[in-house]
Amino acid sequence: MDMVDFKEILKTKNLKATHQRLAILETMDSLGHVDIEYLYELLLDKYPTLSKATIYRNLKELIAIDIISEVKIPDMPTNYEINKIPHVHLVCKICNKIEDKIVNTKHLIDEATKEMHYKIETSNISLIGVCPKCLDKQS
């Protein structure tokens, strides 16, 4: 299905496909959203000598070349995700899970820019509440 060839992508950006870098991308791809601490923990299993400096450096580089982005949500550590089609984040404040949902935002942007004359290029939308699973547990 979701066979992204990160080696190829890195090559086109003139970055070497090191094990660490690929592992970062693959972990992010499979998890969807990760924060630095958790990413580090996970990768330590596979690369016991992995340095946090490597993670910080790589995340910055990957952001700079537009392969990943920061996901900033109030009261949560910054998360990171692989760039894909623009989408909205559904955030559960009970279990802290983040899900993606593709939504048409044209309507919203039109209304927001009406009389404001901004030229909007990207949008960053998080909807925060309770996910179905946690709703069930509550009742």
Partner DNA sequence: GTGTCTGCAAATTATTTGCACGTTG
Partner DNA sequence: CAACGTGCAAATAATTTGCAGACAC
Residues lying near its own copies in the complex (CB under 8 A):
69-75, 78, 88, 90, 92-93, 99, 101, 103-105, 107-109, 111-113, 116-132, 135
Contact between 16 and 10 (Cβ < 8 Å):
yes
Q: Tell me how far apart the alpha carbons of residues 36 and 56 are, in angstroms, rounded to a whole number.
A: 8
Contact between 56 and 36 (Cβ < 8 Å):
yes
Residues 13-52 as x/- pattern, contact with DNA by CB under 7 A: -xxxxxxxx--------------xx---------x-xxxx
Q: Tell me how far apart the alpha carbons of residues 133 and 95 are, in angstroms, rounded to a whole number.
A: 9
Which tokens hold the place of 11?
């090559």
Binding residues for DNA, how many (CB under 7 A)?
Answer: 25
Cβ 24 to its own copies, closest distance in Å? 18
Point out which residues bind DNA (CB under 7 A). 7, 10-11, 14-21, 36-37, 47, 49-54, 56-58, 60, 78
